[in-house]
Amino acid sequence: MRSHTIVDSPCGPLTLVAEDDALCGLYMVEQRHRPDELTFGSRTPHAAIFARTEAELKEYWAGQRRVFEVPLRLVGTPFQQLVWAALREIPYGSTTSYGELADRLGRPAASRAVGLANGKNPVGVIVPCHRVVGSNGSLTGYGGGLERKRYLLDFEQGALW
């Protein structure tokens, strides 16, 4: 059974979606690949998973958390799962390119597929797809918009402190 709530953040309102007691979605307003809201389930702001997620996000925004521990239930293809797991290995404040990520996965010719899987990440910020940039360091593609990607990268690199 799915449920959802909406929390505030420096990136605007975030819709949190849970399935049972695990987070399965974190979506920004006007996010590309945002599922139809009918799939989010009923609005349940007081569920324990939402309180835990919101607390971890507040710690992140306060500069006190670099790794999220909230339980996740991510639904995707085996390749998407592989990419999303690799995203969680990119250190806070660091970036990598799509090609470098493909290399790490042992699939050096799959940078485009890595980019597509990255864009389908259902739990932005927590699974840090914003840390992936173009091969020349340029900001390329972000489901939440390039302004939010720049904000998140600047925040993590201390430019907003």
Catalytic residues: 129
Alpha helices, DSSP H, located in the chain: 48-61, 78-87, 98-104, 111-119, 146-156
Cα distance between residue 13 and residue 101, in whole Å: 29
11 in Cβ contact with 26 (< 8 Å) = no
Backbone angles phi, psi at 115, to 5 degrees: -60, -40
Which is it for the CA torsion 159, 147, 142, 15, positive or negative?
positive
Element (H, E) at 27: strand 22-28
- What is the edge-to-edge ordering of all strands in the sheet holding 14-19? 22-28, 14-19, 2-7, 42-43
